Amino acid sequence: MNLKWLLVRRITLVALACFLTGSAFVLYETVREAKGHNSALAELVGRQLELQLSRIDRSTDIAKRFPDWDIITTYSLLPGQCVELSGHDGKTQRSSCGGMDNASVTTPKWFLQAYRTFVGGNLDAVWPVSYRGVSHGTVAASLNPAETAAQAWSTIAPLMLLSAVLVEALCLVTYMIVVRALQPAEEILSGLNRLARGDLGCRLPAFRLSEFNRISEVFNALTDELGKVTSERADLAGRLVDTQEQERRHIARELHDEIAQKLAALNALAASIRTVAQRDAPELVAEARQLEEMASGAMKSLRRTLTYLRPQEIDDLGLIQSLKDLVDQHNKISFGRTRFSFETTAEMEQLRAETSAHVYRIIQEALTNASKHANARNVTVQLNRLPDADPVRIRLSVVDDGVGRDGDERGSRALGWGLIGMRERVLALSGKFAAGPLPSGGFGLQVEFPTALRSA
Ligand SMILES: Nc1ncnc2c1ncn2[C@@H]1O[C@H](COP(=O)(O)OP(=O)(O)OP(=O)(O)O)[C@@H](O)[C@H]1O
Ligand SMILES: [Mg+2]
């Protein structure tokens, strides 16, 4: 829930609580007053009757006239108010009621119902009539609940209307004030979202409120710093992988020029020993052949190492063909358990040499990971240009339908070097990198980077 609605809700709740307290107070006062009226009436009538009894006792009045109910006419009964005299047997001897006021008709039913439930007949008052210790019945005064409810309602209804109008106005004003006051917060939030999406060029404007202005200054300073650090990191990562690439080339060259030459010489020597031995010492032929096979076996594994260290094919065959060969190799060694496929477009051939090397290495590691960890049926490599992106952006994805992630996740270091290396290469390309299990199952690698294409 956002702050605007939270405040509006709180204000409404507080206003409702105030209104309920006010209504309860009005109700309480109405009830107290009604009860007071009843008590006063019951006492007055009771005392008048006791006075008549004393007159009868002093023979200034006659017993047959008791109770002299005409006294009631001297009191003006409230609308809905009744007074009655009951004998010892509980039977009503005399009673009188005031007429009902029409106001009670307009009281809503729910209010009347609630009134009856909470107040009920608690308003009645009784006065025992006695003279010289002899009881002559009781006077009871009561008020029709519909009438007292109508009275309470006539006070509460305008209060309710006023509260509703006030609350509505208050909520509206609060909402508008909060919307205005939070405008900078909206801008800060959208700036943070842009930053989270990787837009390091985003800056916040100056704000009128000093607190927000301070946030804006700190945000801008941090974004500047982040931009600087990110570009330095990308630079560093670029130099790191370039150095690594150079080192690999150097090792590959040394291996090729030193060991490969010597292995070739060894092979030739073994062949010549075999030829001579066939004529002069046939018992040495088998050993010479063994030597020959060992030399050519070592040559083969050296070639594989050389290909890994420096995929010559990129220079000779181009990126697309080299990647196709790489995918074929994986298809071959998986013996049909996993089907590796590769989709791309011809313009990927126009990627610059360093970019092609990074792309090749990233796909190489992703395919090795899929073979090692995924146990997948299908692995798909896609390398395409993003449509309508200016400058040109390339999207690379390697997706499999395997286990998603190995069971043995052992903390960050245990993740190995492959993903770290890929991330560094993507950083060197100033691109975005994401790798992890997919919600639909399997593992996915998504890379996106800007680039410039060589003219075809
Ligand atoms: N395609 C995949 N399917 C399932 N899990 C994967 C996949 N690719 C990577 N992982 C998981 O991510 C972890 C990190 O991969 P990473 O390439 O960094 O390390 P590694 O392959 O274990 O070791 P290294 O690459 O250093 O030889 C792996 O150990 C594995 O658990
Ligand atoms: Mg790996």
High-pLDDT (> 90) share of the chain, %: 34
200 and 139 in a single domain? The answer is no
- Please state the domain count of the chain: 3
Report residue 168: phi and psi, to 5°: -60, -45
Kindly give the number of the ligand 1 atom that is closest to the alpha carbon of 379.
1
Residue 102 within a domain: yes
Average pLDDT over residues 111-137: 84
- The confidence score (pLDDT) of residue 104 equals 56
Residue 421, ligand 1, Cβ within 6 A:
no
Q: Are 398 and 444 in contact (CB under 8 A)?
A: yes
- The confidence score (pLDDT) of residue 406 equals 55
Judge whether residue 146 has pLDDT over 90. no
- The confidence score (pLDDT) of residue 385 equals 94
Kindly give the number of the ligand 1 atom that is closest to the alpha carbon of 368.
21
- The confidence score (pLDDT) of residue 330 equals 93
| 450 sits in which H/E element | strand 443-450
Residue 406, ligand 1, Cβ within 6 A:
yes
168 and 203 in a single domain? The answer is no
Kindly give the number of the ligand 1 atom that is closest to the alpha carbon of 403.
4
Q: Are 236 and 272 in contact (CB under 8 A)?
A: no
How far does residue 410's CA lie from ligand 2's centre (Å)? Answer: 14
- The confidence score (pLDDT) of residue 112 equals 84
Strand partners, 135: 130
43 and 130 in a single domain? The answer is yes
- The confidence score (pLDDT) of residue 54 equals 92
Which own/partner contact pairs does 351-356 have at CB distance under 8 Å and 24+ positions apart? 351/319, 351/394, 351/451, 351/453, 351/454, 352/451, 352/452, 352/453, 352/454, 353/314, 353/315, 354/242, 355/429, 355/449, 355/451, 356/314, 356/319
Q: At 410, is the pLDDT very low, low, confident or very high (cuts 50, 70, 90)?
A: very low
How far does residue 351's CA lie from ligand 2's centre (Å)? Answer: 25
Judge whether residue 19 has pLDDT over 50. yes
Q: Are 196 and 223 in contact (CB under 8 A)?
A: no
- The confidence score (pLDDT) of residue 102 equals 63
Range of the domain at 448: 316-456
Last residue of a domain, one of 199, 220, 240: 240
- The confidence score (pLDDT) of residue 121 equals 63
Residue 11 within a domain: yes
Mean pLDDT of the chain: 86
DSSP string, 304-358: HHHHHH--HHHHHH-HHHHHHHHHHHHHHHHTTSSEEEEEE-GGGGGS-HHHHHH
High-pLDDT (> 70) share of the chain, %: 95
Residue 369, ligand 1, Cβ within 6 A:
yes
Please state whether 135 falls in left (phi above 0), alpha (psi between -120 and 50) or beta.
Answer: beta
Average pLDDT over residues 434-448: 94
In sequence order, the 6+-apart residues with CB closer than 8 A to the CB of 305 are 255
Judge whether residue 400 has pLDDT over 90. yes
Q: At 157, is the pLDDT very low, low, confident or very high (cuts 50, 70, 90)?
A: confident
Quick: pLDDT tens for 199-216.
888 999 998 888 899 999
Residue 288 within a domain: no
Q: At 413, is the pLDDT very low, low, confident or very high (cuts 50, 70, 90)?
A: very low
Average pLDDT over residues 19-25: 86
DSSP string, 230-280: HHHHHHHHHHHHHHHHHHHHHHHHHIIIIIIHHHHHHHHHHHHHHHHHHHH
C-alpha to C-alpha distance for 5 and 175, rounded to whole angstroms: 8
Residue 271 within a domain: no
- The confidence score (pLDDT) of residue 291 equals 92
How far does residue 70's CA lie from ligand 2's centre (Å)? Answer: 111
- The confidence score (pLDDT) of residue 412 equals 45
Quick: pLDDT tens for 232-259.
888 888 888 888 878 887 888 788 778 8
Average pLDDT over residues 165-169: 87
How far does residue 370's CA lie from ligand 1's centre (Å)? Answer: 8
Residue 430 within a domain: yes
132 and 174 in a single domain? The answer is yes
332 and 204 in a single domain? The answer is no
Average pLDDT over residues 156-185: 85
Last residue of a domain, one of 219, 240, 261: 240
- Ion ligand 2 contact residues with beta carbon within 5 A: 369, 416, 418
Q: Are strands 393-400 and 378-385 parallel, antiparallel or unpaired?
A: antiparallel
445 and 373 in a single domain? The answer is yes
Residue type, 294: M
Q: What CATH number did the domain enclosing 352 receive?
A: 3.30.565.10
Q: Are 358 and 311 in contact (CB under 8 A)?
A: no
Average pLDDT over residues 285-297: 92
Q: Are 373 and 428 in contact (CB under 8 A)?
A: no
Q: At 105, is the pLDDT very low, low, confident or very high (cuts 50, 70, 90)?
A: low
175 and 226 in a single domain? The answer is no
347: its two tokens: 């313009």
Residue 311 within a domain: no
82 and 161 in a single domain? The answer is yes
Average pLDDT over residues 158-187: 86
How far does residue 444's CA lie from ligand 2's centre (Å)? Answer: 13
Residue 417, ligand 1, Cβ within 6 A:
yes
- The confidence score (pLDDT) of residue 103 equals 56
Judge whether residue 37 has pLDDT over 50. yes
Residue located nearest, by CA, to atom 6 of ligand 1: 405
Last residue of a domain, one of 146, 180, 214: 180
Nearest Cα residue to 218 out of 243, 195, 250, 248: 195
Average pLDDT over residues 332-346: 94
Residue 405, ligand 1, Cβ within 6 A:
yes
Q: Is 59 helix (H, G, I), strand (E, B) or coil?
A: coil
Residue 246 within a domain: no
Nearest Cα residue to 105 out of 60, 55, 144: 144
DSSP string, 79-137: TTEEEEEE-TTS-EEEEEEPPPPGGGGGS-HHHHHHHHHHTTTTT-EEEEEEETTEEEE
- The confidence score (pLDDT) of residue 449 equals 93
- The confidence score (pLDDT) of residue 394 equals 96
Say how many C-beta atoms besides its own lie within 10 A of residue 318's C-beta. Answer: 15
Residue 374, ligand 1, Cβ within 6 A:
yes
25 and 163 in a single domain? The answer is yes
Task: Quote the DSSP letter at residue 419.
Answer: H
- Rounded to 5 degrees, what angle do the CA atoms 112, 113, 114 make? 90
351 and 414 in a single domain? The answer is yes
Residue located nearest, by CA, to atom 17 of ligand 1: 418
Average pLDDT over residues 36-43: 91
45 and 143 in a single domain? The answer is yes
Average pLDDT over residues 94-107: 74
Judge whether residue 414 has pLDDT over 60. no
pTM: 0.53
Residue 201 within a domain: yes
400 and 451 in a single domain? The answer is yes
- The confidence score (pLDDT) of residue 226 equals 92
